[in-house]
Amino acid sequence: MKKTLRWVAVLWVLSCLSWLAAFAQTSSHAADGESHPWWQHAVFYEIYPRSFADSNNDGVGDLKGIASKLDYLKDLGVDAIWISPCFPSPQVDFGYDVSDYENIDPMYGTLADFDFLASEAKKRDIHIILDFVVNHTSDQHKWFLDSKSSRISPYRDWYIWRDGKGPGQPPNNWVSTFGGSAWKFDSTTDQYYYHFFYPEQPDLNWRNPAVKGAMFDVTRWWYKRGVSGFRLDAVDTLFEDPNLQDNPINHPGKNAFGDPFEQNKYNTKLPEVHDILRGLRQVANEYDAVLIGETWTADVAELNQYYGKGNNELQLPMDFLFTMVNKLSPAEFRKQIAAVDAASGWPTFVISNHDIVRSYDRYGDGKHNDQIAKLMAALYLTLRGTPIIYYGEEIGMKTTPPTRQEDVKDPIGRKGWPKEKGRDGERTPMQWDSSENAGFSQGTPWLPVPPTYKTHNVADESKDPDSVLEFYRKVLNMRHTNEALLDGSYKAINESDANVLSYLRVYRGQAVVVSLNMSGMPQTADLDLKANGFKSARSLLATGKSEVRGEEVSLEPYGVFIGELTK
């Protein structure tokens, strides 16, 4: 009986501690008297480290390069940087094949360089988020080398090994998302191992508690070194059906790699994923850290699952559905924004990243691209939620894919050419100035610098009040200081307008209106002021000749109007 009481007491203390940890997270960084976790008011910025800034002129960016640009980032209005993987790696998938989770690849520097970057970032109140590749390791990771060495290796069950169906036949029909069978035969032990991505990226077996323990410890190790969270890579691929049932084929034909169009029914989005996310979140809560998810979902109902019940999984699952509205359509954006605004957690907006064609090309019409880049900035930086800027978006960088197969660096581009050109185009070096190699490196950059560096670069745009960069700076400055933009509710207005997307952000009687002309013609749009209890609007930021006239706003082609409303 005594023992039972002692256990009850221990459990009570533990539950108090976890409640306190959760409370500490939600009550930090309050800016307006209410509690807001720091990541809700922060602007995030994704850095692809190979391409950001090269301090030692070997043609590849590095951590010292990032440190040298912190003032630029601070001045832009960035509060947190997410660095794509910078851990030791054979670089088959440019860092998404990690061979040691607790170190820095010599190409990017040393742990001392990381510590320097972390302390310099801290001085400027910039949080560091690392990219945690949870689904797989490199085939050169010591765990995998041991695992493949023998069927009785202590690490054998850390990966997914199976017998083939017969000679030369993989265990089932699963295809890798990067082309070919998802199984690779290894003659050392005469079995196949499973890889959702490249064969050099064997999947970890998350059903093994030892894997879970080791991976959770990796996050603790980095939290203790000062990181403020992780972007979790490819979370939906963590688990596979233990019975290895064949995937159904979606429709006839072959994809860019010559594989059938498979539905990943038995090897993605298994419910067990959520147990792991809850566990990772518990650890994150101990450190006031944030978890961002690479969450490709079919709809917002699926996105909601990643927030978890009572918000106990990811704080910031990215809404990629937003990136799939690939045309300037007010109706489609309205629909998607409303859906994610009604989601069960705090929205996260991205318009580009290192895997998708840049927004400059997805939305640009070839004539008004800079204006459209400003329009898109005004959109994702004024919505209710946390925005993540992809490096170079703020200067209007263009996707520049290779034109010849022999120049392609991304293996999927070499394999899938010409249908799949790979992701080099959106990973080109950051354009800092108009000097040789755009000021990125004095060596030969690992990917060619696009010719647009002459017109689109940080140095020149900083001097031009009408540049895309200056527009980003202005919107971000406004976002950081305007309570309606930070915490206000979202309300669509003038919803039947086919050309202009307009909405209000309302916070304790204060309101901001945003009107975006998504067409190439001048437009006049009703601001619905009276209907919403407001009298007039005063311009906070507008492009070109866009201005308010009474109840209406007149917008130039692709024009932006952001105004403050008075009662």
Interacting residue ranges for ligand NOJ, rule: CB under 6 A = 93, 96, 133, 197, 233-234, 294, 354-355
Q: Count Cα neighbours of 136 within 13 Å in the Cβ-side half-sphere.
A: 27
Q: What phi-psi label fits residue 335: left (phi over 0), alpha (psi between -120 and 50 degrees) or beta? A: alpha
Grouping H, G, I as helix, E, B as strand and the rest as coil, residue 494 is coil
Q: Which two tokens stand for residue 477?
A: 């400055």
Q: Which is nearer to ligand NOJ, 136 or 505 (CB)?
A: 136
Least separation in angstroms between residue 350's CB and ligand NOJ is: 12
Q: How far is the CB of 53 from ligand NOJ (least distance, A)?
A: 20
Residue tagged active-site, from 79, 233, 236, 410: 233
Give the C-alpha separation, 180 to 176, whole Å: 6
8-state DSSP, 188:
T
Alpha helices in 381-426 (DSSP H): 411-416
For residue 513, which of 544, 551, 473 has the smallest C-alpha distance? 551
Report residue 113: phi and psi, to 5°.
-65, -35
What are 38's two structure tokens?
């720091």
Collect all residues with Cβ–Cβ distance below 8 Å to 344 and sequence separation of at least 6: 304, 307, 311
CB of 136 to ligand NOJ, least distance (A): 7
Of 517, 521, 504, 525, the C-alpha closest to 559 is: 517
Burial of residue 209, with CB atoms counted within 10 A of its CB: 0-12 exposed, 13-18 middle, 19 or more buried: exposed
* Residue of minimal Cβ distance to ligand NOJ: 96
Shortest spacing between CB 133 and ligand NOJ, in angstroms: 6
Question: CA angle at residue 134 from 131 to 140, to 5 degrees?
Answer: 95
* Closer residue to ligand NOJ, CB minimum distance, 354 or 374: 354
Closer to ligand NOJ by CB, 133 or 506: give it. Answer: 133
Write out the H or E segment, with its range, that includes residue 103.
Answer: none
Distances in Å between the alpha carbon of 418 and those of 92, 150, 202, 334, 341? 20, 40, 27, 35, 38
Q: Which is nearer to ligand NOJ, 237 or 515 (CB)?
A: 237
Asked if 347 and 415 count as a contact pair (C-beta separation under 8 A), the reply is no
d(CA 289, CA 306): 16
Q: Which secondary structure element, helix H or strand E, spans residue 254, and what is its range?
A: strand 249-254
Q: Give, for 472, the enclosing helix (H) or strand (E).
A: helix 468-481
In angstroms, the CA 128 to CA 143 distance is 27
Active site residue 240: no
Q: For ligand NOJ, give the closer residue by CB, 52 or 490.
A: 52
Nearer to ligand NOJ by C-beta: 164 or 411? 411
Check whether the bond before 418 is cis (ω within 30° of 0): yes
Q: How far is the CB of 402 from ligand NOJ (least distance, A)?
A: 17
Distance of closest approach, residue 417 Cβ to ligand NOJ, in angstroms: 17
Q: Between 370 and 410, whose beta carbon lies closer to ligand NOJ?
A: 410
CB of 362 to ligand NOJ, least distance (A): 17
Nearer to ligand NOJ, 294 or 487 (CB): 294
406 is catalytic: no
Active-site pick, 241, 275, 286, 302: 286
Contacts 24+ apart (CB under 8 A), 38-42: 38/79, 38/127, 38/228, 38/288, 38/290, 39/80, 39/127, 39/229, 39/290, 39/315, 39/316, 39/386, 40/346, 40/386, 41/79, 41/480, 41/486, 42/79, 42/80, 42/127, 42/386
Name the minimum Å distance from CB 134 to ligand NOJ: 9
Helix, strand, coil percentages in the chain from 3-state DSSP, rounded to 5: 35, 20, 45
Distance in Å, CB of 54 to ligand NOJ, minimum: 20
Measured from the CB of residue 303, what is the shortest distance to ligand NOJ in angstroms? 17
Our CB check for ligand NOJ shows the closer of 127 and 136 to be 136
Angstrom distances, CA of residue 377 to CA of 159, 348, 349, 360, 466: 42, 14, 11, 11, 14
Cα dihedral 447/452/453/457 (nearest 10): -130
Provide DSSP, 430-464: P---SSGGGGS-SS--SSPPPGGGGTS-HHHHHH-
Between 79 and 294, name the residue whose CB sits nearer to ligand NOJ. Answer: 294
- Active site members: 233, 286
